[in-house]
């Protein structure tokens, strides 16, 4: 619960792009989950360059999201057009793309952290009726 959410404009743009991609692939747009926004931002702020399942699970639970989730991570050099760059990376990776357009997901949160010219982006999508083993 930061007083001024980081990079909120980039984060909102990324959610908009993800939802456009979902709609174009015949699945519903996802409403924003404040808990998953906070979890995703907590993880991007840690500047991970690969997935840390336990920390990601704890971040979701700590933020108040009680269920399982899917998540995508991308890291790239540069800070321009960060939302589009992240989306393109996920579209061009079959596994990440499937997570992004998964029809069973029911909410979304993203985190974007930019440090020393490097951008870290996380997407968390909520999966109801599934278990977060770290919660």
What CATH number should be reported for the domain holding residue 79? 3.40.33.10
- What is the total count of domains within the chain? 1
- Domain assignment present for residue 72? The answer is yes
- Domain assignment present for residue 106? The answer is yes
What tens digit of pLDDT does each residue of 34-79 get? 999 999 999 999 999 999 999 999 999 999 999 999 999 999 999 9
SS (H, E, C) the chain: CCCCCCCHHHHHHHHHHHHHHHHHCCCCCCCECHHHHHHHHHHHHCCCCCCCHHHHHHHHHHCCCCEEEEEEEEEEECCCCHHHHHHHHHHCCHHHHHHHCCCCCCEEEEEEEEECCEEEEEEEEEEEEEECCCC
Please report the pLDDT score of residue 5 as a whole number.
Answer: 57
Please report the pLDDT score of residue 39 as a whole number.
Answer: 98
pLDDT band at 3 (very low <50, low <70, confident <90, very high): very low
**Enclosing domain of residue 31:** 8-131
Q: pLDDT averaged over the chain?
A: 94
- Domain assignment present for residue 3? The answer is no
- Domain assignment present for residue 88? The answer is yes
- Domain assignment present for residue 102? The answer is yes
């Amino acid at each position: 619960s930061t007083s001024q959410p980081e990079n909120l404009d980039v984060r909102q743009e990324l959610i908009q792009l993800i939802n456009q991609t979902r709609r174009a692939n015949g699945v519903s747009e996802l409403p924003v989950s404040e808990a998953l926004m906070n979890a995703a931002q907590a993880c991007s702020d840690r500047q991970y360059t690969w997935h840390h399942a336990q920390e990601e699970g704890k971040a979701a639970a700590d933020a108040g999201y009680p269920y399982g989730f899917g998540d995508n991570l991308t890291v790239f050099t540069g800070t321009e057009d960060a939302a589009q760059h992240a989306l393109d990376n996920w579209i061009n990776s079959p596994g990440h793309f499937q997570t992004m357009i998964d029809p069973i997901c029911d909410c979304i949160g993203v985190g974007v952290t930019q440090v020393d010219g490097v951008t870290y982006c996380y997407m968390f999508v909520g999966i109801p009726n599934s278990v977060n083993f770290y919660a």
